[in-house]
Amino acid sequence: MASDEVKRRMPRVTAIAAQKGGATKTAVACNAGPLLAVAGQRTLLIDLDQQADLTARLGFTPENLDYSMVDVLAPRNSIPIADAIVRGVKGVQGLDLLASDIRASGLEEQLTGVRFRETLLRREIERVADEYDEIVIDCPPSLGVLTMNGLVAADQAIVPVNMQDRAALNGVEQLLETILTIQQQTPEGAVRLRAIIRNRVTETAIAYRKNAAKLQELEGQGVPVAETILKEARAWHNAGAEDLPVVMYAPNSDAARNFRELMVELWSDVGFPYMSDAARALRGRRREAA
């Protein structure tokens, strides 16, 4: 006789992590959310970064937020995650946000000495598991307590690399070692590296060629590198200046189509609409939110 206890369905949790700033991890998280939502996936974006760039890009400031992830993960007087989630971000139905704010800069120190502090976020996610199909976490550019929370909570990790930065791969090996350590300590359901993403690609640049050679070495060691590259494009910078994902700011641009290709590769089980169809949906929802 089957048990009456039904196993709780968990969403897929993806951590976007990089040890260096400027790796475009926030842009990846910011644009992944709307495309997943338009594809019918109930999606939660979580901003763990103390700089709160993801929160700002989605149009939020501390002044227009009641709570943030700081209130959820605080060691004292914390609030339930459901109370802090902002629903229908940018007018996109099925796209929610757990924001960050400047107080996050002191949160890691507050969590020092807290037992099982690396599992705080995972336990909060379990409280809202039934509400989502996909959760995407923007981790801080470090390997502190908040990034560890993101990785421990995740099923998969994506590591963006700025191919124009000569030191872009510094710290990547340490991040990979951290993921391996988490796998060894929690073998069941532990995070796996989904892919390294090459972004801001200008193939004629010297820095790109040096970084590409190093990535080829890592690939030879079995490290997965996404086939799709994110090319340098003005639309990325303009979208950031307007606090919008590029897939909403310029959905018919080469940059938006390029990003959709990456999503099709890394979320291969999700049926993404063509960018022209997604553009109509996202533009309509942006007007409604305005």
14 contacts 135 by C-beta, under 8 angstroms: yes
Predicted TM-score of the model (pTM): 0.91
pLDDT digits (tens, 9 = 90+) for 217-237: 999 999 999 999 998 899 999
Instruction: Give me the residues paired with residue 231 across strands.
Output: 201
**DSSP assignments along 216-233, one per residue:** HHHHHTT--B-S--EE--
Q: In angstroms, how far is CA 65 from the centroid of its own chain?
A: 20
**To the nearest 10°, the Cα dihedral for 119, 120, 121, 122?**
40
Q: Nearest-5° angle of CA 264, CA 267, CA 271?
A: 65
Q: What's the mean per-residue pLDDT of the chain?
A: 88
247 contacts 286 by C-beta, under 8 angstroms: no
Q: Which domains does the chain have, with CATH numbers?
A: 12-270 (3.40.50.300)
Provide CB contacts within 8 A for 237, sequence distance 6+.
none
pLDDT digits (tens, 9 = 90+) for 137-182: 999 988 889 999 999 999 999 999 988 887 778 778 888 889 988 8
- Determine the residue type at 128: V
The confidence score (pLDDT) of residue 204 equals 65
Instruction: Give me the residues paired with residue 14 across strands.
Output: 136, 156
